[in-house]
Structure 1
């Protein structure tokens, strides 16, 4: 008997999502680029396929489903609401001038589930749903929590401008690390001589003067204490089975009191998973997990990966994205959590039955 194809597996996953109460939706394949650029900045251009439409302007081939589903819900959706979908997404995966020996797919199926609800159990509901669907594949489940990291950054003894810069780059570990190093050292002097020439450029003179004022004010910032950096790095490095990680985080909360509330929220979420019959010892907690996922995740994150296949992307990913609904809701917001599964990878692993 031949194993099911990608589409058949996608339909199987979709049926499980519908059985969990989700309504199927089908967002457009071509999306306005402006919204995605506003959310992610120009970095999205490195990953998305962008083209020009004579009427609609700049558009992108759908890089993921979450943004259009959130837009649809915030325009006219009631709450609570559950949505599911199945379709192609398009992302540039490989960079450089030559084709790698094992190129990753730049067009592939995603099956997804999104939950909009003011329910403390929402994180556990979504994680448990994905855990149950993928159980036959014996994948490694990993969780993270961006709340913890962002609360820790907000607690640093820095100016608002420096904290904002670190929060902006928290999903870019390399840039974040360089900023942290810079803020930990005495600021180098900056001299802005008046050349007497006319102001030129895309920015106005007022904008350039404001920028100069910010850079000059940055000189007066005291360096970040070494103990603050060490605590933050210890937090970011926490990796262990969930029960052990929780104990480590509670210990760290004694040194970083601002993360205590997030740690207890995580503890409550893990308790809800245990109440659903999930063995917490099988879940790996990685405090920096969310830094390597989509930038809109701002709470719990999760992934299910294939052991021994480090060259593969995760079979499933997801998380909480409350702030995204506020950005796209034009004044309205609602807590939201969701995730996606790659039917193609499930197919490579032999299917779900």
Structure 2
């Protein structure tokens, strides 16, 4: 499909975001790699296009808009603030075991909306805006809440180091599952040999000593009771219309009280959506939603999916990312933030079909 047609669809969404009170911004296409590596770790190299500049060092073609928009806002933006944008992002597409028959674009448009505000209705406002704009295409709306998942992990009877490891990989379900399996078995004994050889490596001696101390302490950790694994499995299996899912979550919270505050937040959000004209019974709540698909979101998450389009990514995704603003803000200052993106190219394909 011609890029011109995709741009035209993107401009329609951009105009709608402007009408919703957003200010248009245009972040750089080339971004410093060190910030993205600090956020995502070395995994980002598998997805981003990198280049080396003799003066600016390692650079990456923009893999998303959220990071540069947060940096821009945290450098001096006032609150509340609404931003919108339209432009290309660049991602290497993982073909898996074999090359897909219809590979997705490595360069594609994103039209986005970001809201920075201390407003309890911000989640509902952003979702309702996307819900209204995407209504003509009959997409399936799915929501989740990473705050619920993180509260569940923090409630596990594990050492702080083991909980931190699970939280670090909470967006990577395969690694998360492997860690849970390892923590449910007796810890392997490690023999850290003493040596008079000089210390060498990219990490400092203090960092390596702390790492060895954590490994030694982990040897005495008791295995995680299988009952907790079963509870996590029950949590991740909850996927139903929002009212029904809330009932199932409430049942689970009777034996897992630590989940109650997050469930109240989800219930409150359902009421706010209803007030904004979105019927909660038409929205799916999937407790494993953000756990499977998104990085850096730490609260409400959402996707809009085109049923019957096998192999398609979501038409739109978004969520809350308060922790990201603390990482990118000055002195750890955090601002509540929520936003989302639409892929105009996929919408253009739907219109053509």
Please say whether Structure 1 and Structure 2 have the same fold, judged by a TM-score greater than 0.5. yes
Determine if the alignment matches structure 1 residue 126 to structure 2 residue 126: yes
SS in 1 for 2:302: strand
Question: Equivalent residue for 1:194?
Answer: 194
Determine if the alignment matches structure 1 residue 343 to structure 2 residue 344: yes
Determine if the alignment matches structure 1 residue 211 to structure 2 residue 218: no
Query: Where do residues 66-85 of structure 1 align in structure 2 (5 Å cutoff)?
Result: 66-85=66-85
Using the TM superposition, give the Cα deviation of residue 205 of structure 1 relative to its aligned residue in structure 2, in angstroms. 4.1
Aligned residues: 349
SS in 1 for 2:223: coil
Q: Which moved more, 1:168-177 or 1:293-302?
A: 293-302
Using the TM superposition, give the Cα deviation of residue 208 of structure 1 relative to its aligned residue in structure 2, in angstroms. 3.1
Using the TM superposition, give the Cα deviation of residue 209 of structure 1 relative to its aligned residue in structure 2, in angstroms. 3.1
Using the TM superposition, give the Cα deviation of residue 351 of structure 1 relative to its aligned residue in structure 2, in angstroms. 7.1
Question: Alpha carbons of 1:121 and 1:32: their partners in 2 closer, same or farther (altered >3 Å)?
Answer: same
Question: How far apart, in 2, do the equivalents of 1:333 and 1:57 lie?
Answer: 28
SS in 2 for 1:333: coil
Q: Which runs of 5+ in 1 are unaligned?
A: none
Query: Where do residues 226-237 of structure 1 align in structure 2 (5 Å cutoff)?
Result: 226-237=226-237
Question: How far apart, in 2, do the equivalents of 1:274 and 1:8 lie?
Answer: 32
Query: Where do residues 22-171 of structure 1 align in structure 2 (5 Å cutoff)?
Result: 22-95=22-95, 99-171=99-171
Using the TM superposition, give the Cα deviation of residue 96 of structure 1 relative to its aligned residue in structure 2, in angstroms. 6.5
SS in 2 for 1:177: helix
Query: Where do residues 279-290 of structure 1 align in structure 2 (5 Å cutoff)?
Result: 279-290=279-290
Using the TM superposition, give the Cα deviation of residue 101 of structure 1 relative to its aligned residue in structure 2, in angstroms. 2.0
Question: How far apart, in 1, do the equivalents of 2:97 and 2:254 lie?
Answer: 50
SS in 1 for 2:126: helix
CA-based RMSD of the aligned residues comes to: 1.7
Question: How far apart, in 2, do the equivalents of 1:147 and 1:67 lie?
Answer: 20
Question: How far apart, in 2, do the equivalents of 1:351 and 1:297 lie?
Answer: 32
Using the TM superposition, give the Cα deviation of residue 211 of structure 1 relative to its aligned residue in structure 2, in angstroms. 2.2
Using the TM superposition, give the Cα deviation of residue 215 of structure 1 relative to its aligned residue in structure 2, in angstroms. 1.1
Q: Which runs of 5+ in 2 are unaligned?
A: none
Aligned residues of 1:94 and 1:100 also touching (Cα < 8 A): no
SS in 2 for 1:111: strand
Question: How far apart, in 2, do the equivalents of 1:96 and 1:17 lie?
Answer: 35
Using the TM superposition, give the Cα deviation of residue 98 of structure 1 relative to its aligned residue in structure 2, in angstroms. 6.9
Aligned residues of 2:110 and 2:343 also touching (Cα < 8 A): yes
Question: How far apart, in 1, do the equivalents of 2:301 and 2:270 lie?
Answer: 13
Using the TM superposition, give the Cα deviation of residue 189 of structure 1 relative to its aligned residue in structure 2, in angstroms. 1.4
Question: Equivalent residue for 2:10?
Answer: 10
Aligned residues of 2:86 and 2:109 also touching (Cα < 8 A): yes
Q: Which moved more, 1:207-216 or 1:165-174?
A: 207-216
SS in 2 for 1:240: strand
SS in 1 for 2:274: helix
Question: How far apart, in 1, do the equivalents of 2:88 and 2:270 lie?
Answer: 33
SS in 1 for 2:339: strand
Aligned residues of 2:83 and 2:115 also touching (Cα < 8 A): yes
Question: Alpha carbons of 1:172 and 1:97: their partners in 2 closer, same or farther (altered >3 Å)?
Answer: closer
Question: How far apart, in 1, do the equivalents of 2:96 and 2:247 lie?
Answer: 43
Question: Alpha carbons of 1:277 and 1:37: their partners in 2 closer, same or farther (altered >3 Å)?
Answer: same
- TM score, norm. by length of structure 1: 0.95
SS in 1 for 2:326: helix
Using the TM superposition, give the Cα deviation of residue 216 of structure 1 relative to its aligned residue in structure 2, in angstroms. 1.4
